[in-house]
Structure formats: C-alpha cells, structure tokens
Structure 1
Amino acid sequence: MNKVEIISHDCLGVEAVMAETRHSFAKHTHEAFGIGYMYSGAQKSASGRGVVEAGAGNIITVNPREVHDGHPIGDGPRGWNMLYFDPDLIAKAASDLSDHASTSFEFTRPVMDSPQVRQCFAALFEAITDGTMETAQLRREEMLLMMLHHAMIMPGEPATKSNTRTAVAHARIKRAKSLLDDSPTDSHSLEGLADTAGLSKFQTLRDFTRATGLTPHAYLVQRRIDLARAMIKSGDSLADIANAAGFADQSHLNRHFVRAFGITPGRYARAVRAN
C-alpha cells in the first residue's frame, strides 16, 4: 500500500495530508511547520534531535528546513494525518501565547505522547478539511492556539545544545549555504563552495553536512524541490517547471519528488490546483 493524498490546500497557508504507506522517504525538508497524528503502524526517522521512533497514538512534528526521513517499522504500512503551516502563520499564532517580542519558535519534540495535543489536532484537522463547517474559521483559530500551547516551545525557554542538531553554522559554512539558497538553479561545484567558505573541499563537505544534515548536493536538490513546489501552484506545465527549477527534465524532478514526499508532482499539482 502506498497512499499519500493532499486533501486540503488553502490560501491561508495550511496544507492537509493523509498517508498510509510503506514508502521509505529519503532525507528531505519542508518550508513549513508540520504536525501530525500517527493512527496506525510505526516508523523510525531522522530528526533535528537525532533518530526517533513513532507509533500509533503519537504526535509527530517537524520544523521548517529540518532534515528528516521516514522508514516503516515492521511489515505493514503506517498511517498518519499531517498539517503543514506557513511559518508566518505559526509565528503570528505563537506570538499570541507569549509576551516576548521574538519571532523565533520551534517544535522541540519530534515525537510526543500528549492527550491534549491529540485532542486539539483532531479538532483542528477536522476544521481544516471540512469546508462545510460554519464555524471552521473560529474553530481553526481556537484549536491552533490551544495545540501550540500544549506542543510548542516558546521564546525565552532554553534549548540545550545537545538538542540542536541544526545549530547555526559557522560563518564560513553559512556563506556556502547562502550561495546555494540564492542561486539554486545554477550549477555549483564543491570547489566553488569551498572557495566561498574559505575551507578545503573536504572541510566544506564535512562541516556543511554537520551544519545542515545534508551534503551540499542533497541540499541543492532540496532547494530545487522547494522551488518546484512553489511553482506548481502557478499552473505552469511540469516540464517547464522542471527546467525552470534546475532539473535535467521532468523525470528527474519526478524521481526526487517521489523519494522525498511519496507523491508525484502531477498528483501534487492536481491537489493544490483544485483547492
């Protein structure tokens, strides 16, 4: 079984996904905050806090650009419902819960067992996916705030160094990373990144991977996937999008997209363009 379905995508920056699959997801990132509920099966995954396991009844979370993957545990599929939120939406909601002016927020537990979060998530997922609900907007606002209250670290709370795998990179690595962020469709070489960082090629490869959780090439591919996902919503053809996003062709985009998200760009396009 391999079912990954986008069941809701709205203009407010929320995407709802239902999945039941044995697919092993390659290391990837999202531009959004993600929180979900595992309703069956189990999986092991890399996260910003190391390798974790989640099973039925658990809440799972991911932060923007946090490197993670996902592999089934056992012979059967695992199933989950997931919500992805635009970072600005989360920042605005979370700021209502704190007196701090900071806009730095993050989930600090990639897996949690919390009845309060489960209850809020179930109500929020229903409000987001059931467009016929007259009180959907108010319900969404209420449950989002309550869910964050139970699930999120707020500004001012300490995050230990051991819990921060994706800590801010050394300034030299940040320069190399910025080069990829600023021009993801260009061709890049390890030598060019090393020159930008002022390091040897091996040091650049080692320190970049430590800082981001991805090799420079894998990071570049992820940035291109992010660009393609944003362009898909515009309605352009997938062949044109693949070329504009820096992929060799549409099949190249398809291969990386499925490895990361378990769904083809075509299916993703039909889902987001229908909403």
Structure 2
Amino acid sequence: MHATETSRYWRHPCFPDLGLFKARFTRHRYELHTHPTYVIALITAGCERIRIGRRHVIAPAGTIAIVNPEEWHDGEQGADEGWAYRTFYPSVPLMAEFAGELGRDRAPVFSREIIDDHHLASALAAAHEGSTSQDAMKAEASLLAALGRLIVRHGDWNGQAEEVENAGSRRRFPVYEEMIESRLGSPLDLQRLADAAGVTRFQVIRDFKKTIGLTPAAYIRDRRLRRARLLIEDGLGLADAALAAGFADQSHLTRTFRAAHGMSPGMFRGAG
C-alpha cells in the first residue's frame, strides 16, 4: 500500500455479521472479486471507477455504489486524487431481517449500481461514524435508519438476474463450481475442469465467459480468497489458511487478499 493510502476494517458493535471499512486510496486497484454480502460504499472524496457485473460506472463523491451479493466487481481511482469511501458489508440474512421488518418478504435486490441520494448519503455517513460510538443505542438506531431508507427507497423487488443465453454453459457451470470447491487446496487446471464436464478446455473458457464474464483463473482465485476468509474467521492461522485455501504461502495470500479487499488478512483477522 502506498504511503498516502489508509484503510481500517471493523465489525459493527450491535450487528456482528456486518463489517465496516474506511479507506483512502490513490494508487490501489482492486482485482475482480465477489462477496457473499452486500457492498454499500459511500464515496466521501474524489471519484472511483468500478466494474460491477458487466457494467463500468463512475462513482463521484457523495454517491453510493451498490454491489449485490456474489456480483463481480473491481475498483480503481476515477480521478487523479484517488478516492475515499466508507463501506458497509451487511449479510443477506441481516438485510432480509431488516426488509421483513419493513413489510417485505425477502432480501432486496438493487438494480442501480450508483445511487445519488443526498439524504441517504448523510444517513450512511452518520451510521458509519456512529458504529464507533460508545452509545450502543445510537449505533443501532443510525444503522437501522440508513439501511431502512436504502431498502425502502432503492430496493428493486422485481429484479431478475440476467439470463444466460447459452443453456449448455448454464447447465455445465455447477459442475465446474463443484469441482473447484472440492479441490481448492489442490492444483487446478483447465483440463481437470474440462474432463469433469466432458468438454474441451476451449469450451470451459467460453462457458465461464458466457456465464459470469470472467476467466476460470479469476473465479478460482476468488473462491480461494473466500475459503481463506472463512478459515481465518474460524481462527486458523494465516499460514495454515493460505495453504488450506490453495495459495502457495502466506505471502501469496496476503498479496491476493490486499488486491481484492484493500486490506491485509491480518487486519481482517483483527476485526473478529
């Protein structure tokens, strides 16, 4: 991380399954990755350029970038001065719980990648700052107010995932997923995936492109990061988590983790 860049990650005192992140970046560039949670990022200064799914968007200061669970996304500076932002990572069950209290029957989908809502931005800023307050009631109330406004005003209850044009690719993709998940700690290559699905290596690449718009290598890297995160949360040491998730060593995990999440594995572990 460049000397002028800063980042911090912690857990909400009232909602342990909600992570929070605060950072200022100038040179850092996120690799494509996913989260099992929502990503709700309030841009507080500068501008961020982001790919979310298949779209490329610009998020200037004062706007909110929204990434739905499991959506591929990256991020980099959209202006010379870089960008600063405050991010919330609420889990799907938590958002479903909030939505239920607001009269909805399921967790929301957000169809707009960038939201320009001054009142929501102010509420999110207050909730993020309030998460470090000694006043637990204030921390809880400010978060509920902010996410409640987001859900009610910007949730898309009719949102549908984009249909994959090629039915064969869609049918084969679970085979690749199962193979990758079962062998994350072992060597993986295109031929193994091709053999599992009964296709050629070229077809594997086409299937990944058609289904999720990424290469098999990018998907495997993301799944290994996901496995490492879970192992670290469960208390496994960083070196052991790296090897169990299929990384060459702890340094390899650290480099990849920082590129995807903007923080080191040690910082992530420290927030537990």
Q: TM-score if structure 1 supplies the norm length?
A: 0.86
Q: C-alpha separation between the residues in 1 aligned to 2:223 and 2:54?
A: 22
| Aligned match of 1:30 | 35
Amino acid in structure 2 at the alignment position of 1:93: F
Q: C-alpha separation between the residues in 2 aligned to 1:160 and 1:261?
A: 25
**From 75, 79, 87, the counterpart of 1:74:** 79
Gaps (5+ residues) in structure 1?
none
Cα deviation digits, residues 65-123 of structure 1 (max 9, x gap): 211111112321200000001111112222344554xx463221111111232133223
CA shift, 1:63, in A, is 1.5
Say if 2:242 and 2:249, in contact at 8 Å, map to a contact too.
Answer: yes
| Aligned match of 2:96 | 91
Q: CA RMSD in A?
A: 2.6
| Aligned match of 1:114 | 117
Say if 1:168 and 1:211, in contact at 8 Å, map to a contact too.
Answer: no
Q: 1:1-275 maps to which residues of 2 (within 5 A)? A: 1-10=4-13, 12-22=16-26, 23-100=28-105, 103=106, 105-154=108-157, 157-159=158-160, 161=162, 170-270=170-270, 272-273=271-272
Q: Secondary structure at 1:129's aligned position in 2? A: coil
Q: 1:44 to 1:140 in 2, by over 3 A?
A: closer
Q: State the number of aligned residues.
A: 266
Q: Secondary structure at 2:137's aligned position in 1? A: coil
Q: 1:128 to 1:239 in 2, by over 3 A?
A: same
CA shift, 1:206, in A, is 1.6
Q: C-alpha separation between the residues in 2 aligned to 1:24 and 1:141?
A: 31
Q: C-alpha separation between the residues in 1 aligned to 2:97 and 2:225?
A: 26
Q: Could you tell me the percent identity over the aligned residues? A: 31
Q: C-alpha separation between the residues in 2 aligned to 1:38 and 1:53?
A: 11
Say if 1:116 and 1:150, in contact at 8 Å, map to a contact too.
Answer: no
Gaps (5+ residues) in structure 2?
none
Q: C-alpha separation between the residues in 2 aligned to 1:160 and 1:246?
A: 30
Q: TM-score if structure 2 supplies the norm length?
A: 0.87
CA shift, 1:237, in A, is 2.0
Q: C-alpha separation between the residues in 2 aligned to 1:201 and 1:169?
A: 13
CA shift, 1:196, in A, is 2.5
Say if 1:16 and 1:129, in contact at 8 Å, map to a contact too.
Answer: no
Say if 1:172 and 1:198, in contact at 8 Å, map to a contact too.
Answer: no
Q: C-alpha separation between the residues in 1 aligned to 2:180 and 2:12?
A: 28
